[in-house]
Structure 1
């Protein structure tokens, strides 16, 4: 473990684990405040791999977009011969994945999640960062219940009007232009947020399949439906917003800022 990290923080219990490392709760020796530290074992990542690029990119991107009240904040980065340690805000309350697994949201409850999520996405886009893996697992809540967008390992920096490439994301939430292998813009994040809104209201994803291949086929068709047995009590306003977020034609798809200005968002 990094000597510099140990001089400033005391590591406690493990609170998460990924492909390349472990997340621990820790606290500052100077203030006693609690944080999380993501410790990545560099020996598990090939020197020339995309994963290594993502590892260093994550810390750079988080520094670019911090601070923001709806984005997980980065505080320190330490590196030694074997590990990279990223000290970040501790969000140990819950995540949206567990919430949507246990309930269908009312429109007011869904709006209370979508508003800060879209504020976070709009902030990232203004800073020239596309998250590229917006999904419920990456939407955390702190001890006061505030939403925090997390996990920028797949994020990409872009300049205005510049397109990105590379298949990244998670099957249910990935935009059709990504699945098709085309170049794409930051609006892929709006599509993913639209899928999340649909799932919160319906309890099921808008584009479904039993395998990843079937899901991708459904995403490519982008045939958005509102089954009456599920959506009978859902307002026309939120259906309109969903059509504008889950629009296959990227030129007509809303930006994050347009989502925030939609009447459903401003009146619900």
Structure 2
């Protein structure tokens, strides 16, 4: 377990300040870059928490992916990385503590113009990732942060995977409510799994509820596999027809008919 005291870094350029949150592998702190007097976030990952090859792969992939993708206004910026025998530290752009998940949990559905703005920023980030041959594979509200200007920032690239022309991916990764059906079925898939997940987030922003749900993981997966996308009148009465049409194209069970992130971006001309 982590000590209740703030640990020190072996890199004297940075000073750790207060704890911001804890995850599966470590703890995030606010930190100060001494020379510039700028505040960042430091993600400390304790190596003893990495229990298998998948965990270790996540640790290797995330800093490489973030460095490869930077800079982009809607992707969390990595600033520095260093390690010692026990800990790997990622120094990251400092964001607000409330994620999109927190905002939706507290506030419920968003007005369509607000949801459209966030959706556009998410798709801008995804289109950038996909153009460079990288799929995120774990798009969910918890991984969508906000900077001080309320710009959306895509984070947590531990499950990311590179792909290329004609090269598919495999492996069950993602989060139940947001994972694409082809992932659940154990099939090979492409970067459009991110488009499905983003569509589910857009639906949730507009309605306050996910399109597919259940009382257990297996029930959620069954609902995702059925992919019976509905727009209840009582919930979607104020949502525009173009927005619902976009959702149908993003949350499409057949990945060959599902639009790309770049194609989805073109739909925002009506805003």
Structure 1 length normalisation: TM-score?
0.96
User: Could you tell me which residue of structure 1 aligns to residue 93 of structure 2?
Assistant: 89
Whole-Å separation in 2 of the counterparts to 1:161 and 1:22 = 38
Shift of 1:161: 2.6
Shift of 1:49: 1.7
8 Å CA contact retained: 1:77, 1:84: yes
Question: How many residue pairs align between the two structures?
Answer: 263
Shift of 1:56: 1.0
User: Could you tell me which residue of structure 2 aligns to residue 261 of structure 1?
Assistant: 266
Alignment RMSD, CA only? 1.1
Shift of 1:160: 2.6
Whole-Å separation in 1 of the counterparts to 2:94 and 2:165 = 32
Tell me if 1:167 matches 2:186.
no
8 Å CA contact retained: 2:20, 2:97: no
Whole-Å separation in 2 of the counterparts to 1:164 and 1:214 = 25
Among 120, 125, 141, the alignment partner of 1:120 is 125
Equivalent residues in 2 for 1:1-268, closer than 5 Å: 1-3=8-10, 5=11, 7-46=12-51, 49-92=53-96, 94-101=98-105, 102-262=107-267, 265-268=268-271
Whole-Å separation in 1 of the counterparts to 2:67 and 2:166 = 23
- Bigger shift: 228-237 or 49-58? 228-237
Shift of 1:235: 1.4
Shift of 1:93: 5.0
Unaligned stretches of 5+ residues in structure 2: 1-7
Whole-Å separation in 1 of the counterparts to 2:235 and 2:48 = 49
Whole-Å separation in 2 of the counterparts to 1:76 and 1:243 = 40
Whole-Å separation in 1 of the counterparts to 2:238 and 2:49 = 50
TM-superposition CA deviations, 1:5-62 (whole Å, max 9, x none): 2x2111101101111111111010110100001111001223x521001111111111
TM-superposition CA deviations, 1:96-152 (whole Å, max 9, x none): 111112131121111011011100011111111111111111100011111100111
Q: Which runs of 4+ in 1 moved over 3 A?
A: none
Unaligned stretches of 5+ residues in structure 1: none
Whole-Å separation in 1 of the counterparts to 2:236 and 2:246 = 14
8 Å CA contact retained: 1:39, 1:84: yes
